[in-house]
Amino acid sequence: MTLNESVRTTPAPRPRKSIKVGLVAGGLGTYWPQFPGLLPQLQASAKFVSERIAKLDVELVDVGFISDAQEGAAAAEKLRAAGCDLIVTFLTTYMTASMIVPIAQRSNAPVLVINMQPTEQMDHANFDTGAWLAYCGACPLPEMANAFERAGVPFRSVSGYLHEDRAWKKIDSWIQAAGIRAILRNSRHGIMGHLYHNHRTRRDLE
């Protein structure tokens, strides 16, 4: 093979790397004995979010639903080992920063916090405290944001309701952005030629 033939040879395309998204959902376990119907409702919402993200052409690592800091620590270890490009944290109701911050710190990946209430609005004429808590994902968001800022964890947030297209477009955009970040971090870059040097001396500038 001649040199010119070698230069003209097109390298085989590298396989496209799928975006690996880690997902964890959770709420405060103290509520479950007090409001028996709350946990099943929140788990159903978490399942919907998991299925919706899985349809976005990603490799999904769903570590399930956590209810306390101990379960959060176990989830953190699973997501750390998975090597995700993005961690999505679904705040289904109030939960403490101690449940989520270790996940963000150990994953070494950007974090997207989502607050997706069940419907666009509550049925205010027919709701009780347990039903209200299912719409309370916005309650821990300021606490999470403050904890992430203090811990130096990069994050973004999206709020909306489960079937809101506008919110899902934002979620998809952040997932795609994380994929681009992952590609750039693991790519090989080549430079042809060399930098143009300015040969003027200090005397030339005076």
Q: What percent of the chain has pLDDT over 90?
A: 64
Order of strands across the sheet with 19-26? Answer: 58-66, 19-26, 86-91, 111-117, 155-161
User: Sign of the CA dihedral 106, 107, 112, 116?
Assistant: negative
User: What domains are there in the chain, each with its CATH number?
Assistant: 19-183 (3.40.50.10940)
Using one digit for the tens of pLDDT, what is the confidence trace for 77-97?
999 999 999 999 999 999 999
Contacts of 184 (CB under 8 A, 6+ apart): none
Tens of pLDDT, residue by residue over 137-195, are: 999 999 999 999 999 998 999 999 999 999 999 999 999 887 776 666 665 656 666 66
pTM of the entire predicted model: 0.80
